[in-house]
Amino acid sequence: MNFDSRGPDSRRTVRGAVAIAIAVVAISVLHYLTSLHSVVLHEVLKRLYYVPIVVAAVTWGLSGGMATSMFSTLLYMPHVVFQWHAWPVLEAEQYGEVLMFNVVAIVAGALADRLHAERTLHRDSAAELRDAYARLRAGNDERLRMDRLVTIGRIASGIAHEVRTPLAGLLGSLEILENEFTREHPKAEFVVIAKRQITRLQEVVTEFLEFAQPAPPVVRPVDLRQLVETTARLARITLARRGVSLDAPAADTTVTANVDAEQVQRAMLGIMLADTPSLRDGHISITIANRAAAAQIAVELEGLTSVPAVGDLFEAFPTTACGHGLALATAERLITNQHGAVNAEVIDGGVRYVIDLPLAHASRLASTQLQDHTPEQTC
């Protein structure tokens, strides 16, 4: 019977063992103090030994039962040897009783060990079933999500292709009409407004197509420091108009990822610009880290006036400030297409996005020069 005296369960074990030992000692003392002429009382006291033996066997199994029966035998045998030798028949009966102590301990302990083993087996089986159910449920949810994304992608692709041509025709017609009006003409303003709105619709259509049919990534080793610096320069143009500051300190060491730089850049811009309508006078910080299994980019948005529900962030068409709700869904798709992952967690007054990308060996780094371009997505 092995136990450690540390922890609440071990303390209960120690207290139980002490109680069993006290019970055995008390029964033995009563034996020694009881007159040999009180044969009936000795018979009762003898049977009382079975109580602590059985309790110990049920509680601690075979080892507990045998330890208690041996302790009982050790205390009871002097009483048999020195006080019952004058009655050979009764003395033989006492030896038989001592043997029964150990038999009962072995039987009860073996049954208790078997019961404990079955309980452990059932408990482990129940835990495995719970884990399997959780995995099945997660897999089913992911399958439903992917089916939903495929359906949305097909619809979005069809709508985008059908709408893009009429929009191009409308924009061309407005450009012709614009030449008919001078700037001082009272209707010239409405032509400019119409062109601006059609341009915005074209941007939305482009987002639909990017979400529905993202281009296959052109993967190569990329220095994430350079990528983040270029992306920060592009984002500051839009963020500054909204009073949002951006901090992207250079990493201490080179972090090289095997990715499509343009798609990662578009994903980062989508993440930074998607929530900026509710980030007035807020702050965005970008950090880079080299983890054991992945290169990591963390984008932290602080000062959000309304913190979104993390579970719906990457769902297509959630209720967001941008309205169409494709920016984050497209960003996630661009990252996952490169065997990466993007996750989000709520922080105090904001959201932290973590992008994990596949690492590339430093010796394979190609001098990838990113061309600056104006971000297409603005909410």
pLDDT tens string 36-84: 777 778 778 888 888 999 999 888 888 888 999 889 888 888 877 766 6
Maximum Cα–Cα distance across the chain: 136
- What pLDDT shows up at residue 379? 36
CA distance 188 to 180: 9
Residue 362 has pLDDT above 70, yes or no: no
Going through 89-223 in order, the beta strands assigned E by DSSP cover: 220-223
- Sign of the dihedral defined by the CA atoms of residues 204, 147, 218, 163, in that order: negative
CA distance 131 to 123: 12
- What pLDDT shows up at residue 299? 92
CB atoms within 10 A of CB 244: 23
Span 318-342, pLDDT tens digits = 544 444 367 788 888 889 888 899 9
Please name every residue paired with 354 in a beta bridge, in sequence order, or none if there are none.
298, 343
Mean pLDDT of the chain, nearest integer: 79
Place of tokens 């529900």: 309
Both tokens of 204, joined, read 């939305």
How confident is residue 259, by pLDDT bands cut at 50, 70 and 90?
A: very high
On whether the CB atoms of residues 316 and 211 are closer than 8 A, the answer is yes
Both tokens of 179, joined, read 């030449």
Residue 250 has pLDDT above 80, yes or no: no
Q: Is 374 exposed, middle or buried (0-12, 13-18, 19+ CB in 10 A)?
A: exposed
Both tokens of 57, joined, read 């066997």
Which domains does the chain possess? 8-131 (no CATH), 141-212 (1.10.287), 220-364 (3.30.565.10)
% residues pLDDT > 90 (the chain) = 16
Amino acid letter, residue 4: D
Residue 375 has pLDDT above 90, yes or no: no
How confident is residue 356, by pLDDT bands cut at 50, 70 and 90?
A: very high
CA distance 202 to 209: 11
CB atoms within 10 A of CB 139: 10
